[in-house]
Amino acid sequence: MFRPGNPSVLHVVGVKGDPRAMFPNSDLVRVGISDAGFVRLVDTLDATFGRGKGSVMPEQLGPGLYGTSLFFRANGTFHLFHVCNHWIADLLDAAGVPNAPVLATLPSGLLLDLKWRSGLVRSSPFTPKP
């Protein structure tokens, strides 16, 4: 983690329904993006998945940390100054959402920056329908 060049992985979790129900104790913000921004985000996300030689399918590495989540090989590397929150910030930047990479080092910094620069607000708690 302290030296550049560490191979990276993607931890992918499928979310069925409202994410607030699956992650009730997490800070979540709703991010509004344009159709063109969504296409750029998807293209950037797709480019981060590592693929085997000649394959169009992402290279699966094994089960994830919970539920039906999975780990996939990723393109790129990580280190102390380029962590998962920077990856999220890069995706948001591709979608046209302003953010500052320095603040993205910590999750609270990224959320604070998104609230400050992009005017995003924390999602309200999930209330199940009776």
Q: Reply yes or no on whether the pLDDT at 23 is more than 90.
A: no
d(CA 97, CA 13): 23
For residues 22 and 58, which has the higher predicted lDDT (pLDDT)?
58
d(CA 54, CA 99): 35
d(CA 99, CA 36): 18
Confidence of residue 99 (pLDDT cuts 50, 70, 90): confident
* pLDDT score of 17: 87
* Beta strands 60-63 and 70-78, pairing class: antiparallel
pLDDT tens figures, 24-69 = 888 778 888 999 999 999 999 999 999 999 999 999 999 999 888 9
**What torsion do the CA atoms of 36, 84, 15, 52 make, to the nearest 10 degrees?**
80
Tokens of 2: 């302290």
Average of per-residue pLDDT values in the chain: 86
35 phi and psi angles, rounded to 5 deg: -60, -45
The pTM of this model reads: 0.80
DSSP code of 99? -
